[in-house]
Structure 1
Amino acid sequence: MTTVLLTGASGFLGQHVLRELVAAGAEVRALSRREETDAVIGALGGTPVRADVTDVASLTAAMTGVDAVFHTAADTNTWRPHNDAQTRTNVGGAENLLAAAKAASVRSFMHTSSVSAYSHLVHGMLREDVAQRGGDSWINYERTKFLAEQAVRAAGIPFIIFQPSHILGPGDTRNWSRLIAMIDQNRLPGVPPGSGAFADVREIAKAQVRAWQREKFGEAYLLGGEHASFLELVTLIGGQLGRKTPKRALPLPLLKIFAQFKYRVSLITRKPPDITPESAMFTCHDLAVDSSKAIRDLDYRATPLPALLADTIAWMRSVQMLR
């Protein structure tokens, strides 16, 4: 049986990747830092391993006998005071994993990156041959995703890189589910003026395991979904929840001013704000993703947005996240 080491296994995407790896017959060792995540991992068929991507010694011990690594863990922070910690996790963590994997003669490394490696500085349709500009970005998350990809490409281990866009689906407790909950509670103050490509977490997980099984080493795959403006997204959510939503998007200058104000207040309170200049930029950007390479090579599919939202909302109701 093939032994896989998985990071981020208790997270949104990681849980789905764990399910797919177990279904494929792999023995999955999943990094876990505490007992609560041990239980989640065990329930999904994985074996919890006490290790952390910032702790080289723990990774060295966890890597013994491993055939492949799936790295899905990431720090998605957008608040500047936490940037150093984010860099240690996203860049240093990837470098630590790669070093431990190379020392243990691991045969392959599957790395979950993000469309953010290209950066909001790139406009137009994203394809894998578009030059990445994450290294030029003022947004630390974009820089760290770019730099982590560079580390993976330079490590000398057969790799596959996955670049998902906005991820939706069952199991989301911290990402777009917060927007859905705000709409359900009639607390949405406004809608940003940007757009996104909304991908199904289940299809992303399946594509990752298929890429590994089909040995698509040396490749990178953009994993997008149906394109919609954030106003269209919010309107769809409101319709499914039976809630009223704004009819127009906020003006871009107003959103940026509000984000700067919230950030300056946060420097006084020392508490992360609910919107930062960085997160505002993400939601002001128009993101379009061409997933044709993944469709061709990995049988990847984009779930229609209404169906994807319906599944996400049904799951949120099942765990009492909605009224």
Structure 2
Amino acid sequence: MHAFVTGGTGFLGANLIEQLIADGWQVTAMHRPGSNIQRLQALGATPVEASLDDVASLQRAMSANVDKKVDAIFHLAANTSMWRGGDKQQWQDNVVGAGNIARVARQQFVGQGAPGRLIVTSSISAYGYHTSPIDEASAKLADDPKHHYHYSKKRAELAVREEIAQGLDAVFLNPCGIVGKYDVSSWAQTFFMIQQDRLPGVPPGSGSFCHAGAVARAHIDAFHKGRCEENYILAGTDASFLEFFGKIAELVGKPAPTTTTPAFLIRAMAQLQDLAARLSGREPALTPQKAAMITRRVVASSDKAKRELGYRDTVSLDEMLRESRDWLVAEGLLKLSDSRSDELGASGG
């Protein structure tokens, strides 16, 4: 089997490629010009350069390995910015990019009579904000352009559905907060802030957290078992940010936070930083979009994915976070206190 993967240089992409290779797949991993491809090569993937906004480059990349037809396209690449200054580029990356990869996939699989399937990594954010747990029957409420990441993820799905209407076989996965190894820019940032005593406060929100390895496996299972056009939400352990940050603090040997910062204060700080960013042109640490997300309760159900894909959400939050920490330490990206390092060595981590 031959897989073509976008977003392979990201941390979910690394987990997926690792599992595909272990399963005996041949993997071609698309990367943008100038990307660091060392991990792709180390994992055993064949890197190929292309851009999501360039259909011709995607077509060339897809046919680069002509001795082995592509059986599956895993579209993981996404722009996760939550700053209004990046909205224009985010639209190109998420919406135009999804439409382009879906169009090329249709040409590859339908136009050339080569059976195959597109697996799209969407997000729980495509459903917008709800006051009750989200499942696949929930309305997709991400219709406010001010929350542009959410807005773009819903419209990325719609762009793919246009190609499904013309014969493309595609399945959508909607992960929640992904935690695990290979992460350097997502929740890993919280490890760095807490370890360096730079955490400005704890937001009052909560979320569903899922294991990177389980999410990667769900992508492979979606290729084999998923139903065309269907969404599959991938959730896991529900936790408040106070609990989540507390567990990270314990893992890096720091005092756990005991209180949260009121939502109104976080949103006010975000507005002030956004005003300053209008003058400086630089993305602030806290944006109104981020503030909206971290001050709400966004939890979801994985029942459909468990039932139809065999999705396994049995990895505890403690295990997810420990895996993330141990990988950061092993890579030399996170330095622990001497006592915590001794404990890590004694545990064989």
Give TM-score scaled by structure 2 length.
0.89
Q: Which moved more, 1:265-274 or 1:158-167?
A: 265-274
- CA drift at 1:210: 1.2
Q: Classify the secondary structure of the residue corresponding to 2:81.
A: coil
Please list every run of 5 or more consecutive structure 2 residues that lacks an aligned counterpart in the other structure: 64-68, 111-115, 336-349
Tell me what 2:56 maps to: 57
2:329 to 299, 313, 317: 317
**Matching of residue 103 in structure 1 with residue 107 in structure 2:** yes
Q: How does 1:1-323 map to 2 (within 5 A)?
A: 2-34=1-33, 36-64=35-63, 65-105=69-109, 107-120=116-129, 122-136=130-144, 138-156=146-164, 157-302=168-313, 303-323=315-335
**Which structure's CA Rg is the greater one?**
2
Q: CA deviation at 1:231?
A: 0.6
RMSD of equivalent CA atoms: 1.4
> What is the aligned-residue identity percentage?
35
- Rounded Cα–Cα distance in structure 2 between residues aligned with 1:275 and 1:140: 15
For 2:317, give the aligned amino acid: L
Structure 1, gaps ≥5 residues long:
none
> TM-score with structure 1 length normalisation?
0.95
> 1:297, 1:46 → 2: CA distance?
29
Paired residues of 2:8 and 2:30 also in contact (CA < 8 A): yes
Distance 1:294 1:176, change over 3 A: same
Secondary structure of the 2:199 match is: coil
Work out whether residues 226 and 304 of structure 1, in 8 Å CA contact, stay in contact via their aligned partners in 2.
yes
TM superposition outliers: structure 1 runs of 4+ over 6 Å: none
Distance 1:79 1:36 in 2: 22
Residues 76-127 of structure 1: CA deviation (Å, up to 9, x unaligned) = 011111100000000000111111122222621100000000012x221110
Greater mean deviation of Cα atoms: 267-276 or 195-204: 267-276
Distance 1:301 1:215, change over 3 A: closer
Residues 249-295 of structure 1 show CA distances to partners (whole Å, capped at 9, x for unaligned) of: 10111100001111111122211111100011110110111111112
CA distance in 2, matches of 1:254, 1:154: 42
Partners in 2 of 1:193 and 1:112 — Cα distance? Answer: 27
Amino acid at match of 2:12: L
